[in-house]
Structure 1
Amino acid sequence: MSGPSERTGRPERRTNVIRAQLQALVPPVWRSLPRRAPAAAGGTGLLLAASTRWPAEAPGEDGGLMLLRLIALTGAVGLAFLLDDPARHTTATTPLGRPLRAGLRLAMAVPLAALWWAAVLLVVPASARPPLGQVTLEAAATAVAAVALASAAIRFSDRAEVGKGTALWLGGAAVLTGLVPARWGLLTLPGQPWWEETQLRWAAVLAVTLAATALCTPEPLRRR
């Protein structure tokens, strides 16, 4: 029979093994991150934000909000490629499961995305900035929706690169969102009476997409 010290040491040894595996996995995951599509999307977003300083008169708050929504969608298109991995079928045999591998990618991408969004908000003139908390909520929901769609594509298929398809789905969802009347949709302006209700809907979108991402992160169904 194993003594108390041996039983206590097993979880510690397992933790050390997982830590060592994660440390070994960080460099290849970093090298495998897609760069062209996110960089192109991020650069386009910054150019759009900078365009507000070119005219003689900056757009108002409503115009700034619509532009920031477009920029957030542009950034989300870049994040749609985050889970692309040409070596997907090779890395699937690593001891660490896909949730940890995907979590590493997100942990590397989230700070960069947050810095990019902060830069966008700083570039837009103060007179054109809508309420920052609300527009950041919308940007976060849009970004997580892109990651959720990419996670679902990987979960239910064996494709190694799902970014292009995810970007198309995200664009289609954006078009459908634009067709919904403002009273019941997601594109209300601050001066409209149902602005607060719209923010509640955006919070619901964020919660649902976070849950969908978590549910679609485990190993793909096709492998079973």
Structure 2
Amino acid sequence: MRGVTELIRPVWRTLPWPALGTGAAVGLLVAWMSRLYAENFDPWLALNTLRTAALAFALGLAFVLDDPARHTTAAVPVPRFVRQGLRLALVAPVAVLWWTAAVLLVPAELRPPVGATTLEAGAACALALAGAAAWIRRSQEPEPGVSVAAAVLTAAVLAGLLLPDDWKLFVAADDPAWDAAHGRWGVLLGAAVVGWTIWAREPVRR
């Protein structure tokens, strides 16, 4: 436990705050558009605005596990799982505050169901983090953020364009498929969490 507490300060200093800040700022700017031009928005556009904001923040989170000193810190007596978990624990309060601000920026009369959109945002962020953990486990790259962000963005675009109707993820709040789509979002969130718990561990070597 002592080793973990001693890591808090250096981990905080080495978090990729510029990338996180950029994703957060872009996301808030996108959400703010729905308030600035509220007369031109409808609930469907407001929903997609909030989804875009969540995606921007998730792209910033793809950089959270970047560690230029990865091959040096690997020698510390704290497992990778704990080191990555500490990074996520430090970023989590920031993410909660950011999402609260993004939701409140959308006018109340246009705001989509908060619980369901929070599930979508959580799944997007979890997938970005799981992707970063998988990339680190399977490569020696200390800073996979750019590649992971590109992969997440590509996956989001392809999901919106190519998924058949029975597997749609991005549906309108008044669409009969809304509940079914969010069941799929829940599965994605669970899979991402499980994936991170597996990929965050050091591979077993002989």
Scaled to the shorter chain, the TM-score interval is over 0.9
Letter in 1 for 2:9: P
Residues 56 and 164 (structure 1), Cα distance of their counterparts in 2 relative to 1, 3 Å cut: closer
Q: Does residue 36 of structure 2 align to residue 44 of structure 1?
A: no
Pairing 1:120-135 to 2, within 5 Å after superposition: 120-135=102-117
Partner of 2:177 in structure 1? 194
Kindly report the root-mean-square deviation, in angstroms, between the aligned alpha carbons of the 2 structures: 1.3
2:68 to 86, 93, 102: 86
Q: Distance in 1 between matches of 2:186 and 2:38?
A: 36
Partner of 1:77 in structure 2? 59
Q: Distance in 2 between matches of 1:206 and 1:23?
A: 29
Letter in 1 for 2:86: L
Letter in 2 for 1:184: W
Partner of 2:45 in structure 1? 63
Between stretches 145-154 and 43-52, larger displacement belongs to 43-52
Q: Distance in 2 between matches of 1:58 and 1:120?
A: 19
Q: Distance in 2 between matches of 1:55 and 1:189?
A: 20
Deviation at 1:209, TM superposition (A): 0.6
Alignment check: 8 A CA contact 2:20 2:61 kept: yes
Partner of 2:90 in structure 1? 108
Identity of aligned residues (%): 44
Pairing 1:1-224 to 2, within 5 Å after superposition: 19-55=1-37, 57=39, 59-179=41-161, 180-220=163-203
Q: Distance in 2 between matches of 1:53 and 1:176?
A: 28
State the secondary structure of the residue aligned to 1:126: coil
How many aligned residue pairs are there? 205
Letter in 1 for 2:177: W
Deviations 1:33-91, CA, capped at 9 Å, x for gaps: 00111101100111111111222615222111111111111000000000000000000
State the secondary structure of the residue aligned to 1:82: coil
Deviation at 1:95, TM superposition (A): 0.7
Q: Distance in 1 between matches of 2:131 and 2:75?
A: 24
Bigger radius of gyration among the two? 1
What is the TM-score normalised by the length of structure 2?
0.96
Gaps of 5+ in 1: 1-18
Q: Distance in 1 between matches of 2:79 and 2:164?
A: 43
Deviations 1:9-51, CA, capped at 9 Å, x for gaps: xxxxxxxxxx221121111111110011110110011111111
Residues 127 and 86 (structure 1), Cα distance of their counterparts in 2 relative to 1, 3 Å cut: same
State the secondary structure of the residue aligned to 2:175: coil
Deviation at 1:183, TM superposition (A): 3.8
Deviation at 1:162, TM superposition (A): 0.4
Q: Distance in 1 between matches of 2:3 and 2:37?
A: 53
What is the TM-score normalised by the length of structure 1?
0.88
Q: Distance in 2 between matches of 1:29 and 1:100?
A: 12
State the secondary structure of the residue aligned to 2:167: coil
Alignment check: 8 A CA contact 1:60 1:127 kept: no
Alignment check: 8 A CA contact 1:83 1:151 kept: yes
Letter in 1 for 2:139: S
